[in-house]
Amino acid sequence: MGKAREHCGLFGIFDCDDAIEKVYYGLYSLQHRGEESAGIASTNGNSIIHHKNFGLVNDVFTPETLKRLENPHAIGHVRYSTFGSSDNIDNAQPMVATYSKGEVAIAHNGQLLDASKLRKDYELHGSIFHTTSDTEVIVHLMAKPSHVERPNLSHVLNHLKGAFSLLFLTNEEMVGVRDPNGFRPLSIGKLNNSYVLTSETCALDQIGAEFIRDVKPGEVVYVNKDGLKSESYCSPRRIRPSYCIFELIYFSRPDSKVFGESVHLFRKRLGMKLAKEFPVDADVVIAVPEGGNSAALGYSQASGIPLDRGFIRNHYVGRTFIQPEQGSRHRKVELKLNAISEVVRGKRVVVVDDSIVRGTTSRSRLRLLRKAGAKEIHVRISCPPHSFPCHYGIDFQIKDELIAASHTLEEIREFLNVESLGYLSVDGMLSCTSSPHNHFCTACFTGDYPVSYEYVGKKTFRKEVKNRKGVTV
Ligand code: SF4
């Protein structure tokens, strides 16, 4: 893995004649948030039916499997695992369970920090877990007798710590939740009279729905035959907005509006700021597609250096039957990208990218440019160096794997074999947002974690990551 990967994408719609088709298209738009597995759970009000499998949305669902699902209520999920083994289909979501209150389907984006501890407690008391996913802990919490007696979910939600945007579907209602920090996005939309909940607004555009608002940190919304009811499930003291700024920098689609911000315009501002912080005499600005596109445009506009396409991306790599894993990392990069030598040969090239996490993929990409004849390569990164791991649902979880955690700027430049390297500053990055700066999580850049991850315990955490990856960490 050279680039960071998002945990999951969520999409749900309630009371819609073609809910299944809408969720299918919604998930299709959220495919970038999880390419490992996909699933839909649906109900006609009597019973929850679901289908999930490994693969892209297009591979998992066929006209036949879609036909077996039931309208008019459905939720869906695309996944890449940050917690729990990725080769166990039971870990794919939505997770469907039956407990004393009936059936429920759950879809989760984020990472629960106290999952291992809670799980151990339940197992000590005789509970049996069917998956290794942190999400199953929620099912056990819901089934706990003292929680079942409560009229709503608040008690369960107050036991969860960490990052969680959640969708629940029962035979009566669809529920959306955001953790008190609001790490991961979750938006409300409306299509005619049907409410929609989605990780990103690009999925609303896809189905022709209108954006209403974001679910607030610490808010739970209940959607049923009476419409939408909202309540805050935790005390105001616990609500501390800490939106993941890396959602804006890297994960979300540029045509989405996330945390009240147009992702494309935000990234363009990052590029403009970068041009101010790290100017350079050069002939051409190019982006590492797709992530660097908007910031490269901003860099070019602010610097006056013309923008051109220096890399072409092969969009079909994911579909080759010779798995890229079988080749070297460099071979994988070559399969995905090619440099246009006519654009870069003999030129001083500014290369704008959205991040360097481990550094190896970046080095292979830059090697392509050198091979194509670039005279000078000046790398500009539209975020600060990643020096700290993320414990809130993104897959860079081990400090040793982050190049900036153990190398100086000069060492990274040497490793990349380029003439110059500049990362945007933390202040520069935050100055591009429209929300108060303290409403963002910047922990992977600053080490300032908004929620303590000591709940996990370092040893347990490393073991979980090791199990997921099947490698020594
Ligand atoms: S640590 Fe970084 S990637 Fe993780 S939630 Fe915070 S800003 Fe996002």
Kind and range of the H or E element at 115? helix 115-124
Please identify, by atom number, the ligand 1 atom nearest to the C-alpha of residue 386: 2
CA of 51 to the centre of ligand 1 (A): 31
For the Cβ of 259 lying below 6 angstroms from any atom of ligand 1, the answer is no
| Ligand 1 touching residue 244 (CB < 6 A) | yes
- The Å distance, Cα 242 to ligand 1 centre, comes to 9
- Is the CB of residue 402 below 6 angstroms from any atom belonging to ligand 1? no
C-beta of 443 in contact with ligand 1 (< 6 A):
yes
Q: Would you call 380 helix, strand, or coil by DSSP?
A: strand
Q: What is the best residue among 113, 178, 240, 390 to mutate for testing ligand 1's pocket, by most ligand atoms within 8 Å of CB?
A: 390
Dihedrals phi, psi of 331, to nearest 5 degrees:
-60, -40
- Give the Å distances, CA to CA, from 283 to 279, 286, 348, 376: 12, 10, 5, 10
Going from the C-alpha of 58 to that of each of 12, 105, 324, the distances in angstroms are 18, 22, 20
Cβ of residue 197 lying under 6 Å from some atom of ligand 1:
no
CATH class of 264-434: alpha beta
CB distance 366 to 416 below 8 Å: yes
Residue of 227, 223, 191 whose CA lies nearest to 19 = 191
444 labeled part of a ligand binding site? yes
CA of 271 relative to ligand 1 center, distance in Å: 20
Other C-beta atoms closer than 10 Å to the C-beta of 107 total 29
For ligand 1, say whether the CB of 242 is within 6 Å of any of its atoms.
no
Instruction: Convert the pLDDT of each residue in 259-296 to its tens digit.
Output: 999 999 999 999 999 999 999 999 999 999 999 999 99
| pLDDT band at residue 101 under the 50/70/90 scheme | confident
Residue 394 Cα, ligand 1 centroid: separation in angstroms? 7
State whether the beta carbon of 246 lies less than 6 angstroms from ligand 1.
yes
CA torsion, ordered 87, 89, 95, 100, to nearest 10 deg:
-120
In angstroms, the Cα distances linking 292 to 175, 199, 287, 309, 376 are: 35, 22, 5, 11, 19
Dist. CA 85–CA 156, nearest whole Å:
25
**Mean pLDDT across the stretch 391-410?**
87
| Domain parsing of the chain, residue ranges | 8-242, 264-434
Of all protein residues, whose CA lies closest to atom 5 belonging to ligand 1?
244
**Residues 208, 212, 216, 219: what is their CA dihedral angle, to the nearest 10 degrees?**
-90
Judging by beta carbons within 10 Å of its beta carbon (0-12, 13-18, 19+), is residue 472 exposed, middle or buried?
A: exposed
259 CA distance to ligand 1 centroid (A)? 14
Which region, left, alpha or beta, applies to residue 21 given φ > 0 means left and ψ of -120 to 50 means alpha?
Answer: alpha
- Give Dmax over CA atoms of the chain in angstroms: 72
* Ligand 1 atom showing the smallest separation from residue 396 Cα: 3
Q: Is 234 annotated as a binding residue?
A: no
Q: Are 383 and 246 in contact (CB under 8 A)?
A: yes
Fold of 8-242: Glutamine Phosphoribosylpyrophosphate, subunit 1, domain 1 (3.60.20)
Catalytic residues: 8
Q: Nearest Cα to 164, choosing from 53, 223, 258, 83?
A: 83
441 annotated as a binding-site residue: yes
Q: Which of 219, 178, 180, 220 is nearest to 199 (CA)?
A: 178
Q: Is the CB of 207 under 6 A from ligand 1?
A: no
Q: Is 317 helix (H, G, I), strand (E, B) or coil?
A: helix
State yes or no: pLDDT of 228 exceeds 80.
yes
Q: How are the residues of the chain apportioned to helix, strand and coil, as percentages rounded to the nearest 5?
A: 35, 25, 40
**CB neighbourhood size of 173 (10 A):** 17
CA distances from 441 to 46, 220, 352, 392, 430 (A): 41, 21, 23, 10, 10
Judging by beta carbons within 10 Å of its beta carbon (0-12, 13-18, 19+), is residue 17 exposed, middle or buried?
Answer: exposed
Phi, psi values for residue 146, rounded to 5°: -65, -25
Mean pLDDT across the stretch 238-245? 96
Question: By alpha-carbon position, which residue is closest to atom 8 of ligand 1?
Answer: 244
40-44, 186-190, 257-261, 451-455: which range is least confident on average?
451-455
Task: State how far the Cα of 178 lies from the Cα of 439, in Å rounded to an integer.
Answer: 15
The residue whose CA has the least distance to atom 4 of ligand 1 is 390
- The better pLDDT of the pair 380, 148 is held by 380
Confidence (pLDDT) at 10? 98
**Which pLDDT belongs to residue 280?**
98
- Please tell me the residue having the least CA distance from ligand 1 atom 2: 444
- pLDDT higher than 50, residue 469: no
Work out the average pLDDT over 32-37: 91
| 421-457 pLDDT tens trace | 999 999 999 999 999 999 999 999 999 999 987 654 4
Structure tokens at 317: 């790599």
> Which region among 60-64, 146-150, 361-365 has the lowest average model confidence (pLDDT)?
146-150
The two tokens of residue 245 are: 């700024």
Query: Quick check: 153 pLDDT over 80?
Result: yes
- Residue 272 CB less than 6 A away from ligand 1: no
Span 322-336, average pLDDT = 61
Q: How far, in Å, from the CA of 317 to the mean position of ligand 1?
A: 28
